[in-house]
Amino acid sequence: MPTRVLVLEDDAGLRTSLRLVLEDSGYAVVEADEAEAALELVEQGVDVMLVDLMLGGVDGFTFISRARPLTQAPIVVISARDGVQDIVSALEAGADDYVTKPFEVEEVQARLRAMLRRPALVSSPAATGDETRLEDGSRASDVVVLDAVDGPLVFHRAGAQLVRGDRDIHLTMTEYRLLSVLTENIGRVLSRTALLEHVWERGFFGDERIVDVHVRRLRKKLELDPAEPRTLVTVRGLGYRLDAR
C-alpha cells in the first residue's frame, strides 16, 4: 500500500505541484486547503503530513496542536515564515521538521524520506515468549528510564510505548526515535549532529535547533521537573546524555 501523504496548503498552485510530484514518486496524496478538512483526513489515517502555517481560518500552528494527539504521523512544516520563534513554535506544537519557502521539491522529498525511515523494532516479546521478566513485571528488553516513588517510567521499545504505572504517555514518531537512540546509549554524550544523523537521516541538512526543541518536548514526558532535568541532561558544549535512574 502506498504511503499516504496529507498536503495542507491554501495555495492551489503549490498544492497541485506537490501532489503531482509526490504521486509521480509513488505516494498517495490527499489534499486540503483549510485545517478542519485536514483534521478529518487525519482521522481517516495518513502516514505523513506537509503543513503550511499561514492558512485561512484556523492557522497551521493550531492544526498541528490539534492533530498531534490524533496520530504519530510525522508533520513537516512548509512555510514562508522563517523566524526563529516561528520555527520553535511549530516544533513545540508538535511538528517534526520545518522547511522554509521557497524550497526545492527534492528537499521536501528528502525530508519525507527521513521522516518515514523508522528504526527497526526489536522482536516482540509477546511473540518470542522467552524474554526474561523482572520482579516489577517488565521485560529484560525494556528500559526503566526513571524509578520514581509513583512508579517506574518504562520505555517499551518494541511496542513504541512510554509507560508510567498504568498510564501510557503519548510519543510522536520522532520522540520515539530520539528516545530509542538515547536508551541505546545510556550514559554517553551524543552531540546534536549525531542525533540529527541517527534520528532523522545520515547527511541530514536540517537545523540543529530542531534537536533542542525535541529534547525539550521529550523532557516534559521524562522528567519529574523538566526545568531541572536529571534524566535527560545537557552537557554544555557537547550535547545530551540520558542518565537512566
Q: Note the pLDDT of residue 52.
A: 96
CA distances from 58 to 35, 43, 62, 208, 224 (A): 6, 17, 6, 29, 34
pLDDT class of 28 with cuts at 50, 70, 90: very high
> Which domains does the chain possess?
4-116 (3.40.50.2300), 134-242 (1.10.10.10)
Q: Note the pLDDT of residue 164.
A: 82
- C-alpha closest to that of 62 among 44, 43, 73, 75: 75
Q: How far apart are CA 62 and CA 35, in angstroms?
A: 8
pLDDT, tens only, 191-228: 998 898 888 764 444 567 788 988 998 999 888 889 99
Q: Note the pLDDT of residue 128.
A: 34
Angle formed at CA 141 by CA 140 and CA 147, multiple of 5 degrees: 70
- Most confident region among 5-9, 53-57, 79-83, 130-134 by mean pLDDT: 5-9
pLDDT, tens only, 94-127: 898 888 888 888 888 888 887 786 543 333 333 3
pLDDT, tens only, 66-87: 999 898 899 999 999 888 888 8
Proportion of the chain above pLDDT 90, given as a percent: 39
Q: Note the pLDDT of residue 130.
A: 38
Taking residues 134-161, report their average pLDDT: 66
Using DSSP, state whether 78 is helix, strand or coil: strand
Q: Answer whether residue 3 shows pLDDT above 70.
A: yes
| Contact status, residue 177 vs residue 183, Cβ threshold 8 Å | no
Taking residues 235-242, report their average pLDDT: 93
